[in-house]
Structure 1
Amino acid sequence: MDVLADVVTAMKTGPASSGRTEVRGPWGLRFEGSVGAGFHLVLQGTAWLLTPDADPIQLGPGDAVLLPRGLEHALADHPDSPITDFDPAVDFDPETVSQGPGARALLLCGTYRLDRERPHPVLSKLPDVVVVPADPGRHRSLHTAISMMGEELDAQRPGAAAVVPALVDALLVLILRAWFENNDCPTDRGWARALTDPAVVQSLELIHERPGAAWTVADLAADVGLSRAAFARRFTEAVGEPPLTYLSRWRMTTAARLLRDHDRPLATVAKEIGYTSEFAFAKAFKRDFGVPPGTYRKQLIPV
């Protein structure tokens, strides 16, 4: 069980949207706040990332930016360049959105559709802006993917329409993995530690692989070779909540995914996540989501 991949899969509520944007200076594009997680890749050239409450950040070829909470922001060739509103759903042009006399930049901009009502701590604990700079010596998978996207989009080769979406889907995991690796410190709390501490990650794998099992803290501790107290302390420090609290959270996240992606009977869903009765499951689900599971499923069905 790959915990990070499982979390990202559970959080996605639909396909990512993305588009190629070619600009020539002077240029500036304002992106309104969105319900998804915005992302940008600088494939060629340079850009400045401008956010309301932080200093401008200069970006270069191969740099990746993720905005987990859809923060309003702008990209520009210079912090002082005029900024125009830019709606990716309307304004994406396969050729260019700004044609000036200055330097050329090629960008890939888009949005991931993620569950914002119950974000997983992997995402909710991230800062508003995540920047992973190009580093030839690290994160080879991420930078290989970015390089491939640049080639596909710039050359408009046959089959690019199939290749690019697959790379975009993989990009979210690659950016998150690179971020945690860049910020990992064995003495720090947080998911950078949770995903690298052998005992913690092994227990997370057990929970994710079998969310319906009747786990106890003692069971998980024994499986990872720690005393109950030592395991509970280590898990809570890294993950940010006790093991059984996380288990309950993950069970409800799994239930929401099953209701969203499958048409299994509610009794089957309840059993898969460890509830012995449909009634008990429905009560717990409503406590977390505000509506019964049947209503939640109906709300997801297009009219």
Structure 2
Amino acid sequence: MDVLSDLLHRAHARNALVRQLIQRPPWALAFTGAPPLTVVAALGGHASVRLDDAGVAPVRLAPGDIALIGGAHPHTIADDPSTPPQAVIHGSRKLLVGDGVAAAGAMAGVQRSLGPRTYGDGLPGATIMLRGACELRGEAGVRLLGMLPALAVVPAQPRTRAALDLLAAEVARDEPGQDAVLHRLLDLVLVLALRAWCGGPGASVPSWHRALADPVAGEALRLLHERPAHRWTVAELAAGAGMSRAAFAARFRSMVGEPPLTYLTGWRMTLGADLLSDTDATVAAVAREVGYGDAFAFSVAFKRAHGVSPSAWRRRTR
């Protein structure tokens, strides 16, 4: 499994919520209590997305564009950045704001259901939006969010547009297994958007992601993720690349930004942290799972990485 696939699998979004909004200008919705990752896409018409706490300039979405909001930032989706919010949405709760009667009239369409998971007025000239809210899991989710700025925009392209069209077609259905279909389609949109953004001009991505395209460092990263508990040595990784130990170590460090075993330790600490949070395995069992022969050595490395002991981490995250 390649590194990005491994990270996405371990940080797998859960409790995903997908909604379609169909609204005529002027309109604006403020979302508070946002999840770690939000996907906003314009299907028809234009919209703006602005973060309400990060000092980031608003972005404008054209049809087919996707905005990725990395981090639990309260944000506003509107027809224009200057439109004041007419409602604040926190989870499934909506609070009208502004001039009572005017706000109620303006938001009547948003309050009216047009079908499963679809809200708005449905009249000609309306903007059609999709919004997906994703929960991410553990320290793997933290690593995934480290790939993104607070607000990233992926311009429309054929592959992402095809996935969006499929998600839009399914969001209004209500058939057996529909939630599972929507979760997987949202995953597809997310993966395609992440891949497109990371490969786009000006994207600031982690060094390890840039290293994936390198035949030497990329293959070593794949091996480390495929078998994190193996007792890797630099010599073994170098032999697999057909290079001397010194040449391989220099190549890996120049591409990834840290030595191979340092990277491996960091990844093991990510895996260990999530095992402590998600399972009832003993510290010794977690240590063996991530490649440590005894609990003491694992605990020392874990406290160095996370600032607390494995037991304290488990209590805190539970």
Structure with bigger gyration radius: 2
1:205 and 2:209 are equivalent in the alignment? no
How many Å apart are 1:249 and its aligned residue?
A: 0.8
1:111 and 2:133 are equivalent in the alignment? yes
CA distance in 1, matches of 2:245, 2:139: 32
Letter in 1 for 2:145: L
What is the CA RMSD across the aligned residues, in angstroms? 3.1
Within-5 A mapping of 1:1-303:
1-12=1-12, 14-32=14-32, 34=34, 36-51=36-51, 53-84=55-86, 85-91=88-94, 94-95=113-114, 99=121, 103-114=125-136, 121=143, 123-136=145-158, 140=159, 142-154=160-172, 156=173, 158-159=175-176, 160-183=178-201, 190-301=207-318
Deviates more, 1:225-234 or 1:215-224: 225-234
Q: Structure 1 residues 191 and 47 mapped into 2: Cα distance closer, same or farther (>3 Å)?
A: farther
Aligned 8 A contact 2:140 2:271 in 1:
no
Q: How many aligned positions are there?
A: 294
How many Å apart are 1:295 and its aligned residue?
A: 4.1
How many Å apart are 1:175 and its aligned residue?
A: 1.9
Q: Structure 1 residues 235 and 17 mapped into 2: Cα distance closer, same or farther (>3 Å)?
A: farther
Letter in 2 for 1:152: E
Aligned 8 A contact 1:64 1:175 in 2:
yes
Q: Structure 1 residues 116 and 31 mapped into 2: Cα distance closer, same or farther (>3 Å)?
A: farther
Q: Structure 1 residues 15 and 240 mapped into 2: Cα distance closer, same or farther (>3 Å)?
A: farther
Letter in 2 for 1:27: W
Structure 2 gap segments, 5+ residues each = 95-109
How many Å apart are 1:203 and its aligned residue?
A: 0.7
Structure 1 gap segments, 5+ residues each = none
Q: Deviations along 1:249-274, whole A, 9 cap, x unmatched?
A: 10011112323343333322211211
Aligned 8 A contact 1:130 1:179 in 2:
yes
Aligned 8 A contact 1:25 1:100 in 2:
no
TM-score normalised over the length of structure 2: 0.79
Deviates more, 1:15-24 or 1:1-10: 15-24
Q: Deviations along 1:193-229, whole A, 9 cap, x unmatched?
A: 2222222221111111111122222322221233333
Q: Deviations along 1:43-72, whole A, 9 cap, x unmatched?
A: 333211224644432212222111112334
CA distance in 1, matches of 2:305, 2:183: 33
Richer in strand (by share): 2
Q: Percent identity over the alignment?
A: 40
Q: Structure 1 residues 61 and 78 mapped into 2: Cα distance closer, same or farther (>3 Å)?
A: same
